């Protein structure tokens, strides 16, 4: 997404592509910072770096940064470890206002002007304080149906300041709901898919048409709730509970009835909220825009049996996402993290693909 966010990133006169550094993407969430770096080879694209720094509790409170020093320290550590001086950076969905509307005109400039005149209809912030951008979805009448996202200038300025303190230049800012679909789908695809991004403390639900998000929301429950359920059931430490969760998942087996019941009491809360969002979209969408399947991403997406459980509840095919769809065949290279573990890097990987999409 170019425009306002690019101006904030100070890239009015970008250098030729052959002079650009390796594409890097930085995803800052309430649980930590993730970094992805890619490189183009003769046989195709490879993921060179997938690394993270975790936050202690309290670094973010209700989506707001409360310990700036900890964030700067994590960013600095990653940048120095991998020689990253600039990157595309994700803005959090929780502070975004995603909208869709018809814009007049035949050019991006005309669409932007059309939306800017009524930005207060879509973003509940004084217009002078809004940074926004648009992408075209499909022709509509004499104009274009566009998807836009707005942020408060303050949120963008705050992140820019943190990055500068860490010695990182932002090549662009982008709402994470645009980054994730780009990592999962190929340019030009137009299938309507629900993306379920299960993080540590939150679950993000996005409906996308190809690489363009149409609807997004964040649920205040994530994979850590499952870890706590395991801890309570078995009386083990958090690290031991994570291993049990990864090994057993929510798959029933001999002698696991009580354990699975404890897990499902938590998973069912996530399921119910996802079903509500899906029902809302399917009810209000045009027939050609209805969701046909769902994919799982995020650090807690790989829980055994979760895809099958959600498929039964949603009455849709559900599978793990493939964040390497835009990369060279895995027969030709070895990722820095296992394929399932790489689901946690969907946002960061999608950011690295911005240059290829432009």
Q: What is the pLDDT of residues 150-170, one digit of tens each?
A: 999 999 999 999 999 999 999
Q: Is residue 193 a contact partner of residue 292, using CB atoms and an 8 Å limit?
A: yes
Q: What is the mean pLDDT of residues 268-276?
A: 94
Number of Cβ atoms within 10 Å of the Cβ of 158: 15
| pLDDT over 80 (residue 11) | no
Q: Structural domain of residue 179, as residue ranges?
A: 4-101+118-138+148-185+325-357
Q: What is the pLDDT of residues 220-254, one digit of tens each?
A: 899 888 889 889 888 889 888 888 887 888 888 77
SS3 286: coil
pLDDT of residue 87: 97
The answer to whether residue 109 is domain-embedded is no
CATH number at 169 reads 3.30.420.40
pLDDT tier for residue 12 given thresholds of 50, 70 and 90: very low
pLDDT of residue 75: 98
Q: Is residue 196 a contact partner of residue 307, using CB atoms and an 8 Å limit?
A: no
| pLDDT over 70 (residue 138) | yes
pLDDT tier for residue 60 given thresholds of 50, 70 and 90: confident
Task: Tell me phi and psi for residue 179, to 5 degrees.
Answer: -70, -45
Cα torsion 7, 146, 210, 311: sign: positive
pLDDT of residue 20: 57
Q: What is the pLDDT of residues 164-211, one digit of tens each?
A: 999 999 999 999 999 999 999 999 999 999 999 999 889 999 999 999
- 271, exposed or middle or buried, with CB in 10 Å at 0-12, 13-18, 19+? middle
Q: Is residue 269 a contact partner of residue 221, using CB atoms and an 8 Å limit?
A: yes
The answer to whether residue 206 is domain-embedded is no
Residues 276 and 331 in one domain: no
Residues 241 and 329 in one domain: no
Residues 168 and 311 in one domain: no
Residues 314 and 329 in one domain: no
When the pLDDT of each residue in the chain is averaged and rounded to a whole number, the result is 91
Residues 160 and 309 in one domain: no
Specify the number of domains making up the chain: 2
| pLDDT over 90 (residue 355) | no
Task: Tell me phi and psi for residue 339, to 5 degrees.
Answer: -60, -45
The answer to whether residue 194 is domain-embedded is no
pLDDT of residue 313: 95
Residues 32 and 164 in one domain: yes
Q: Where is average pLDDT lowest: 93-97, 155-159, 309-313?
A: 93-97
Rg (CA), the chain: 20
pLDDT tier for residue 16 given thresholds of 50, 70 and 90: low
Kindly state the tokens that stand for 225.
Answer: 């709730």
Residues 291 and 313 in one domain: yes
pLDDT tier for residue 86 given thresholds of 50, 70 and 90: very high
State how far Cα 332 lies from the chain centre: 27
- CA–CA separation, 253 and 227 (whole Å): 19
């Amino acid at each position: 997404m170019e425009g306002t966010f690019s101006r904030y990133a100070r890239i009015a006169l970008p250098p030729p592509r052959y002079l650009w550094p390796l594409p890097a993407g930085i995803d800052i969430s309430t649980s930590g910072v993730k970094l992805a770096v890619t490189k183009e080879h003769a046989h195709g694209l490879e993921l060179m770096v997938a690394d993270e720094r975790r936050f202690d509790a309290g670094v973010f409170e209700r989506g707001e940064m409360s310990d700036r020093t900890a964030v700067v320290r994590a960013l600095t550590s990653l940048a120095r470890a991998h020689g990253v001086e600039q990157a595309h950076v994700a803005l959090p969905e929780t502070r975004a206002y995603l909208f869709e509307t018809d814009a007049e005109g035949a050019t991006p400039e005309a669409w932007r002007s059309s939306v800017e005149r009524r930005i207060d209809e879509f973003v509940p912030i004084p217009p002078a304080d809004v940074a926004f951008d648009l992408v075209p979805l499909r022709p509509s009448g004499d104009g274009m149906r566009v998807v836009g996202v707005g942020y408060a200038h303050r949120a963008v300025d705050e992140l820019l300041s943190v990055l500068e303190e860490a010695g990182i230049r932002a090549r662009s800012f982008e709402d994470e709901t645009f980054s994730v679909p780009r990592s999962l789908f190929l340019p030009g695809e137009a299938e309507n898919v629900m993306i379920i991004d299960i993080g540590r403390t939150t679950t993000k639900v996005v409906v996308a048409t190809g690489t363009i998000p149409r609807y997004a929301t964040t649920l205040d429950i994530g994979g850590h709730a499952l870890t706590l359920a395991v801890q309570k059931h078995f009386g083990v430490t958090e690290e031991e509970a994570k291993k049990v969760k990864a090994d057993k998942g929510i798959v029933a087996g001999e002698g696991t009835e009580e354990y699975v019941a404890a897990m499902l009491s938590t998973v069912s809360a996530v399921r119910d909220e996802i079903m509500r969002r899906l029902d809302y979209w399917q009810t209000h969408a045009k027939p050609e825009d209805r969701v046909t399947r769902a994919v799982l991403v995020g650090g807690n997406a790989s829980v055994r049996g979760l895809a099958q459980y959600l498929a039964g509840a949603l009455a849709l095919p559900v599978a793990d996402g493939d964040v390497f769809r835009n990369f060279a065949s895995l027969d030709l290279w070895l990722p820095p993290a296992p394929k399932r573990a790489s689901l946690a890097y969907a946002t960061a990987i999608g950011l690295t693909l911005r240059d290829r999409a432009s």
